Structure 1
Amino acid sequence: MVKVVDKHIPLKERRINSRSEEWINDDILTEMHCREHLFKKATQSNDGHAWNLYRASRNRVTKKIREEKHAFVEEAISQAENKDMWDKLRQFLPSKKTNTNCTFLKDNNVIFKDTKDIAECFNNYFCNIGHELGKHFDDTLPTVEE
């Protein structure tokens, strides 16, 4: 029974775009709908002209979003008081700080966990990379000393 239902009434996936960003206006939504339609046509036909139309539409949507976002930020800065301005701008800043600490490093099958050892590995790598890359080039090239 399930196979018959799946065959005659297949489930379709639909993407629902929320309008959470304040700078997305009706013009951009219309362009986004057009872009998605052109993408569908391009993937179905695999025609070069259809792909070019899709890319042009994609670039147009990206440009409009950037312009509207920029205008939104400028307006938020110009109209808001100090605290209100930061409340508006906070939505454009990363929400959480990322951890950039390196807790371990594996170099030549040796695992380093001490921060000084990790720093020394990075230092050795960056000090020697020029020399190592230079080995792959022709020796007939002029050097700085010549």
Structure 2
Amino acid sequence: MAHQAHMERRGRPLREQAQEALHKLQERAPSLFSKDAWIAAITVAVVLVGVGLAFAGTSIAVVVSAPFLIVASPILIPLGVVLFLAAAGVLLAAAVSVTLLLGVSWLYKYVKGEQLLRADQIDAVRRRFFDTASQVTERARESCGYNVAEHLHLKERQAAPGA
């Protein structure tokens, strides 16, 4: 009896449910003659052919150029090292030049009295910071319903009742 109840769900046999699910799946699956299936197949084929050609071309280029690279390596390796060091030197010189120009610009503005942040600006930022901190503290006191200092004092009394 339990086996028969297990085999049937919602009053239909399990076989009918499987056939219905398979039929729905077949309806939604692209057919062999649909345009989307052909576009997908052609796209996959083109990508695979392109990857194959790229791999074959790379393999042929390595095989053909290997003898030249072996013969010319006594020249190419030092040439590569020299080119690398030259490029590193140019980049280092550019970085030092930019840093020097920025430093001289800052020094000129400092001597002239045009600092990026003046004292009044720093004071305004400091006041705004403390005002914001005060507002946050007040909101915390309002939302908690009691003062944090009173709460800590109460905890100290509970920890040491004889004090």
TM-score normalized with structure 2 length: 0.24
Bigger radius of gyration among the two = 2
More helix by share: 2
Whose relative contact order is higher, 1 or 2, with alpha carbons under 8 Å and at least 6 apart?
1
TM-score normalized with structure 1 length: 0.27
